[in-house]
Structure formats: C-alpha cells, structure tokens
Structure 1
Amino acid sequence: MRKLCLLLSSALLLMGSARAQHQIPPYIPPTDKAVQANLEQWSDWKFGMLIHWGAYSQWGIVESWSICPEDEGWTQRQPYGIPYYDYVKKYEELGKTFNPTKFDPSKWAKAAKDAGMKYVVFTTKHHDGFCMFDTKQTDYKVSNPNYAFGKDARSNIAKEVFEAFRKEGLHAGAYFSKPDWHSQDYWWSYFPPKDRHVNYDVSKYPDRWKAFRQYTYNQIEELMTGYGKLDILWLDGGWVRPRKQDKKAAADITAAETGEKVIKQDEDIDMDGIAAMARTHQPGLIVVDREVHGPNENYRTPEQQIPDKPLDYPWETCMTMANSWSYVPNDHYKSVNVLIHNLVDIVAKGGNYLLNVGPGPDGQLHDEAYTTMTAIGAWMHINGDAIYATKSVAPYKDGKVCFTRKRDGSVYAIYLLDKDEQVPATIAFKGLTPAKGAKLEMLGAKDKLSWKATGGGTTITIPATLQKKGFQHAVAIRISAVAS
C-alpha cells in the first residue's frame, strides 16, 4: 500500500509539472493610456462582424489552407488526389479571374448595423498572401490592373469596405495574416514547404528573413496610413512568433501552445516595432496578436467556442455564422435562436462576439446571411440595452437565465427561450436578489413585474399578457437595483 501511495504521489507531481508547463501565460494589460481607453470602449461594443473573403471564394473552398501541405481535415485539396504543385499553380491563378462585379459593401454595412453590430474586422490578407488591398509590396493583389477586377473603380476592396462601414457608424478593424505562403521570403521556392511554417533555415538565410520582416512591416504601415481610421489590427497566424532556440524540447511552452511535436524556428517579425509604428499612425490602436500571449495581444480570441466561465482579461469569441469561415455554396447557417443565445452567453461572461460571414465570388452574401442578421437585429432593437456597455456579474448564469450589469448598478436577467417556447408564467433563478423597492420591467413591455424571494433565490411573475405577446429567442428583465 505504501508503495502504491508513493507511485500515486509521483504521478500527481508529474501531472502537476505537465500542467505548469502547459499553463497559459498571464494576460499582460497595455500600458498606453490611449489603448486602455479604446479597449474599454471596445468592450462596450459587444457585437461585431468578421468577413473572410478572397479569390478562393470562386471554388467555394476553405480559405488558404488547401495549399498548406499538412494532412489535416481542413487542408484537403479538391478534387482529392491532385498533385500538390499542380494544385498550387491553379490556386494562384484564381487571383486573375476573381471578379466580384456585384460587390457592394454598403449593403453589408447596412445589414451589420441593422443587426446591432458595432464593428467590422475585414481580411486584408489571408495566409495565401493574396491581398484584398492595394499594396505596393506585391502584384499578387485584387487591384492588379492585369487581373479581372483590377481596373474596376472599387478594386481597392479593403478601403471600400472600411469606408462603407465607417459611413454607417461602425468601427473598422483590419485582419492581417502574418504568414504569407505566396512570398518568396516565407515559402522560398528553392525548398518545398513542409507545413505552415517558414520553409528555410532562418539562421542560415538571415537576409531572406529580414526581407520578410520588412515586407510585413511595409504592408501593415500601408494599412495604417492609407485606409482611414482603424480601431483594431487583428493579426492571425500565431505560429509566426519569437522562439527560444536553446530549448529544443517538446515540453517547451512555445511548442505546447501551438500543438507542435517539435520546436520550430524563431519566426520573430518584431511585433513590438510593428505595434509601435502602427500607433504612430493610429494612436490608441488595439493590437491583437492572436495566440501570442504577451504585450501585443490586447485581447484574446477563443475560436469557435465559448468559455465555460468568465475570463479575467478582455476577450472575444470569433465564430462562424454558418459552418465555414469562407464562402461555401449551400452552407448551413446556425439558427437565430442559437446565435442570440451565444451572444447572451458570451456577454454575460464579459466577452465580445465576432460573428463571421463569407461573401461569394460575385461579392454577394448568402440570402440567409441577410435574413439571419435581420432577425438578430429585430431582437437587438428591443433588447440591446441588456447587451451593450455591460459587465459580467455573478452568478453570470443560472439555468436558462444569464445576467449582465450596467454601470449604474442595474442588472439584467435574460431568460433564454427555447425554439417556439412561450415566456413562462414565472422566471426563477438563484444567486442574485433584487434590492428592496427595486423596479422590475421587461424590455419591449411597460408592465411592472412583481417578484418574491424564494429559498435563496428569486421568482419573477410574468403577466399573462406578456406571456402571449410573442417574444422570441430571449427576454431581458431589467432590475433597477440588486441587494448587496
């Protein structure tokens, strides 16, 4: 028995050591007061639109990943079995034929505004390196005059998008991929690419890596100087990061965070310098160096998931409205009920919701994207006060009730309705009690609601008139004050 206890104790110590090695580093808050202020404002917006769009939409395939030689579910080439280099050649030709003649970002912006969205993040360049803005660093861009859309007055697509959304009063953010699989200074054609990483020895060819760093710097500076007011620089491709080369062991934190089996190269692009440069042009810019935990990750971005509990740092769930990030014909869209419940759940836990749509090759969104945003907007027009400019408040969620708190101390109890469910005669929850004399009312109605304390909880009575009013998705009850 003693020997067994010793073995168990040793196992627990090893498990604790492994957890410590895999532990996510602490969030480092920005020290720039302008960034702090903008981050606080961003946390009030709550709901935004992410747009993945590129030449790949012509094939209705996953964005960029099909040219990555990794054998993952999302990197499969179509048709299956086509030789890699033949496929890449055809893929890179897509830029020449990309011709979104029905591109009208004002329609997207109006739909986003009507849905209650407050900001947009647009893909200026994804991992494949095809630029959706008029960069001077490469001809591999939608505005290339030799390409199908290049002579169109709207060919500087990113600029058109940012201007359209700002015109509707929304804030603008630029998605930018740090890796660039088209660049000869990232995937050098002298060597075959093996995976998503740089494909040559950075220490052996330092001048080539230096050129890539400068290329990245120059492109981001173009975005910071020629595209109006930008609030967010949203950087993807977290594997492009500094790495300590003296620790070539799988237990190293850089390997653990990225799921790598071995330590990769030091892919340092000088994010400190890029962020400093960007803020000379865009003071107070929020920089999101995704998954690279440190001073340049001003907020964190759980992808396609909602945390189980509130997080103690700024965060934003990025999630698809349909199944795919990019345009796929006949894609399946999440129901409005699911999307609104996601929004409420995220906001109750202190986060923002960045909801993605993928325009098609002609520049149009799926009709279902518009009808979905219209339905979300109808709910937000009534219940937006329970969402915007709120903070999390314990117990955050109890059963089907989520809670949000306003700066004036009032609290919203948001009851999540199942599909086709009528508002119940009573709504009960634990962990939060209205203050004596508090006024309770449901958004979208003028009736004063009665309540009583019951067994450590609260029960609110809903009048029959409100039960039959046809509320959908969720109802928000404002509690003017809660007991301390």
Structure 2
Amino acid sequence: MKIRSLLFALICCINIAYAQRNDIVKESTKYEWPKDDAVKKKLDHWQDQKFGMIIHWGLYAVPGIIESWSICSEDWIDRDSTVKYDDYKKWYWGLSEKFNPTKFNPEQWAKAGKAAGMKYLVFTTKHHDGFAMFDTKESDFSIAKGPFANNPKKDVAKYVFDAFRKQDFMIGAYFSKPDWHTQYYWWDKYATPNRNNNYDIKKNPWRWNMFKKYTYNQIGELMNNYGSIDILWLDGGWVRPLESVNEEVLSWGAPIPEWSQDIDMPKIADMARKAQPGLIMVDRTVHGQFENYQTPEQKIPEKQLDYPWESCMTLNHNWGWVPNDAYKPTKEVIQKMVEIVAKGGSLLLGVGPKPDGTMDEAAVQRLEEIGQWTSKNGKAIYNTRITPNYHDGDTWFTQSKDGKTIYGVYLVGKELPKQISWKGNLPKKGSNITILNGGKNVKWKESNGTVSFNMAGTTERIAVAFSFSPETN
C-alpha cells in the first residue's frame, strides 16, 4: 500500500471510530406472539436468562473502526473528504488479507461472560460488509479463506458456539440480511449510494433471486452445520417486503427504494426451524411471526412492556473493538440492567474482541466486576417476570414466575441512605424482608401505604436487592 493510502486509512479510522449511531432501532407498540408451541416454550426459557453478550467481530476490528458502516455512502458517515469513495472501499475490502487472529481465544470470551452472570450469546456470523465469520461455501469472502485459512480454528463460529455451550449459554447467531460485498446486492455496474441494494429489482429479477438463494443457503449452513442454535438474530431491517414499510420504518430517516427487498422469510423460517425446532427468530423491526422478541438499540423503553424484548447496548461506545475506547462504569451497567428487567426486558451487552482474537483485559475486568454483583443478587434478575407495581422512585421490582416472591432492587446514588421506602408491593404481615447479599432478614414498617426498612449494616454501593412475600399470598 502506498504511503498516501496508509495516511488516508489512519485519518478515516480516526474520523469514523466513534461515528456510532444510537437509537436506530426503537421499541414498537406492535408485537405478535408466535403460534408454534415449541417456539413459545423456548421463548419462555429465553425470558428466564435476562442477561446476554453480543459479540461484533470482523474486518472492522483490524483498524479498530465502526462495524461495516464506513463503506456505506450515507451522509452521517464522516470519512476523509480527500479520499475517493471507491479507493476507500478497496482499502476496506483489502482488510480481509490482514485479518489473522492467531491468538483467537473464544474460551476466554465465554469464561468472561460466565463470570459476569451472562446466560446467552449472540455472535455476529456476518455483518453488513458481507465478511463471513464462518466457513461458508457460498463465498470466498470469509475468515476461513484469508491468512487464517490454515489455522485449525478457521471456522470461527463453530469454536465460538462450542466455547459458550460449554458454559451453558443459549446460542444465538447474528446474521445480516443485507450483504454489501456480493454482486447480488451491491452490483458493481452501479454506484452504491446507500445501505439498500443498488439496482432495480423489478428490472433485474434474476439477480435478486440469486441473492435470495445466496441468503437462504448461508442461513441454511448456520442452521445445519453448527450444532444446536437457539436464536437466529437477523439484522438489517431495511431488507423487507415493501408493503411492510410503515411509519415506524420511515421515522428512521433511511432511504427507501421503490422496489421490494423481499427475501421470502416464510421459506427461510421453515427451513431453519426444521433444522432447529423451536428456534427463536428475531427479524428486527419487521413485525409479525418472525420477530419473536423486539430489540430496542442503545436505549431503554420509557414504560414496562408485556411482551418479550431486549435492550442491546454496548459495554463501551462501540459495538466492535476500538482502541482506547472508554468502558461504561460497572454501576451504570448494573443499574440499567435492573431497570430493563423490571420493565420486562433482557440486557444484551455488546463486547468486541481485539483483532488478535482476544478480549480486551479492561473488558474482562469490567465483566468480572458486574459478576460480583450478579452472583450475590441474581435472584432478583434471573427467572423473574414483571409485576404491575414495578417502580417507585429509585426502587425497581420484579417477581418470581409463580408470583410467590417479590424482589426489589434499590439503585444507590452517590451514597447509601439510612433507610429506603416505597409505595405499593406490601410485604405479608408478620414476615421479614431478606437482603439478598448476605441473606440478612430485616424488619420493615408500613404507614399509609408506604413501606420502609432500615439499611444499617448493608455495604452495597451499587444496588441493594431484597425479597419478600407479598401481602396477597
């Protein structure tokens, strides 16, 4: 690579490293419960887990920049204005010749997730740039075909899934419906002005049918060749039937083509669920039978929702690894998790491994710190369901699935108060409240519908979790 190319690559990396767009995907008021009993059963089991890890790892890890989006020609992407767009794309595609994660260590990732108290995984098998993190037979653009090809672990997804299964995680495969590398989606005959396919599907039905076949076959590989898969997490909600484009989709501000980017989800779902009975499908933002839970991104809904959902959020400021990125405080992550679970959701926390295949030590440490809290207070989080009186002040509530136990979690501010109080959720008369961290029973009092108890002896500085039998039982 010429010196000028090296310079522009460095400049572009700096410009786009923190170009992350938040709130692209919000919660919706529309949800359709699945009809398949096997899916319902697995979805109920998933709702028990509450805390998962999403891993973005691909070409973008090599320079440490935003995932895929830097090659999309939309005005929110900030690249060096002196560099030609086609030159930038050539440089980006060329990263496939440099991605050689010789220290690839999925066992480290899985152990760090386990230590944090995480229960399920979503691994990015292919992002929008089309680079496959599995040994696909549909394309040469994959981790298994470049400099990592001679490594015995070249089929990266297999080893990631195996490592997390050994730690008893539910397994999810992230898959991008759009693929900006294949000629069936971004055709070199035309420019690539935005995230959508760049040719008129109505005028080129053969090419789009080839893309549908390509997508079907790649998902088929994942569903048939990688063991038990619990979740198929499909991203790129602009790839959808045109008739499903509604006000919600238009509110994103993304360009909408005049043709339908329909990839025949019923056919894909039928194939996937034959291979993986009960498979949870997450066709993000495309509401209906193939969006079994919703995925608001980088935000928490304002109110409690009574259907399955998760907030997908980053541990730092980016989905993938970016050098010198700042990790969110442990307290912030835990307190967000508490709010999410009380509102009926799960937290899917994003962590990006480094280009050498290891997880950043700072990320490992932060996950361990989170685990110090979940290991002692997890009863208020895992296997719980929503309760009508879910929030009062800084105290959030969940309940056991059988309704016999109420859990409260008080979010500590700058300092721990001498006592906490709330309205609603009255404990059973004559019973105690139990502090989960340490198992101490404490007396409580009630006055005009307000419950309070003394916090003396409690050393928790993040969130105080407690349990009690409700008055109704």
- TM-score scaled by length of structure 1: 0.89
Report whether the alignment pairs 1:138 with 2:139. Answer: yes
1: CA distance between counterparts of 2:345 and 2:151? 39
Structure 2 partner of 1:182: 181
Q: CA deviation at 1:110?
A: 0.7
Aligned length: 447
The amino acid across from 1:436 in the alignment is K
Q: CA deviation at 1:456?
A: 2.1
After superposition, where does 1:183-202 map in structure 2 within 5 Å? 183-202=182-201
Structure 2 partner of 1:219: 218
2: CA distance between counterparts of 1:186 and 1:263? 13
2: CA distance between counterparts of 1:80 and 1:385? 53
- Asked whether the equivalents of residues 428 and 460 of structure 1 are also in contact (C-alpha less than 8 Å), the reply is yes
After superposition, where does 1:122-161 map in structure 2 within 5 Å? 122-144=123-145, 147-161=146-160
> Alignment partner of 1:37: what SS?
helix
Listed as ranges, the gaps of 5+ residues in structure 2 are 1-25
Structure 1 partner of 2:329: 335
Q: CA deviation at 1:427?
A: 1.1
> Alignment partner of 1:368: what SS?
helix
Structure 1 partner of 2:78: 76
Report whether the alignment pairs 1:374 with 2:378. Answer: no
2: CA distance between counterparts of 1:173 and 1:84? 34
1: CA distance between counterparts of 2:174 and 2:360? 22
Q: 2:407 aligns with which of 408, 412, 425?
A: 412
Structure 1 partner of 2:433: 440
- Asked whether the equivalents of residues 337 and 347 of structure 2 are also in contact (C-alpha less than 8 Å), the reply is yes
Q: CA deviation at 1:374?
A: 0.3
Report whether the alignment pairs 1:472 with 2:466. Answer: no
The amino acid across from 1:340 in the alignment is I
**Can you list the C-alpha shifts for 1:368-395, whole angstroms capped at 9, x where unaligned?**
1111100111111100111001011122
2: CA distance between counterparts of 1:67 and 1:425? 54
2: CA distance between counterparts of 1:376 and 1:347? 15
- Asked whether the equivalents of residues 177 and 235 of structure 2 are also in contact (C-alpha less than 8 Å), the reply is yes
Q: CA deviation at 1:444?
A: 1.9
Listed as ranges, the gaps of 5+ residues in structure 1 are 1-21, 246-250
2: CA distance between counterparts of 1:58 and 1:257? 33
- Asked whether the equivalents of residues 27 and 295 of structure 2 are also in contact (C-alpha less than 8 Å), the reply is no
Q: CA deviation at 1:345?
A: 0.4
**Can you list the C-alpha shifts for 1:326-351, whole angstroms capped at 9, x where unaligned?**
11000011100000001100001110
After superposition, where does 1:321-400 map in structure 2 within 5 Å? 321-400=315-394
The amino acid across from 2:96 in the alignment is G
Give the stretch that moved more between structures: 170-179 or 403-412.
403-412
Percent identity between matched residues is 50
The amino acid across from 1:127 in the alignment is H
- Asked whether the equivalents of residues 108 and 359 of structure 2 are also in contact (C-alpha less than 8 Å), the reply is no
The amino acid across from 1:197 in the alignment is N
- Asked whether the equivalents of residues 411 and 482 of structure 1 are also in contact (C-alpha less than 8 Å), the reply is no
Structure showing greater radius of gyration is 1
After superposition, where does 1:267-346 map in structure 2 within 5 Å? 267-346=261-340
> Alignment partner of 1:244: what SS?
helix
Give the stretch that moved more between structures: 408-417 or 234-243.
408-417
Structure 1 partner of 2:64: 60
2: CA distance between counterparts of 1:172 and 1:261? 33
**Can you list the C-alpha shifts for 1:122-144, whole angstroms capped at 9, x where unaligned?**
00000000000000000000001
- Asked whether the equivalents of residues 240 and 268 of structure 1 are also in contact (C-alpha less than 8 Å), the reply is yes
Cα–Cα, structure 1 residues 24 and 441, in superposed 2: closer, same or farther, change >3 Å? Answer: closer
Structure 1 partner of 2:451: 458
Q: CA deviation at 1:53?
A: 0.5
RMSD of the alignment, in Å?
Answer: 1.8
Structure 1 partner of 2:44: 40
Cα–Cα, structure 1 residues 333 and 235, in superposed 2: closer, same or farther, change >3 Å? Answer: same
1: CA distance between counterparts of 2:196 and 2:327? 32
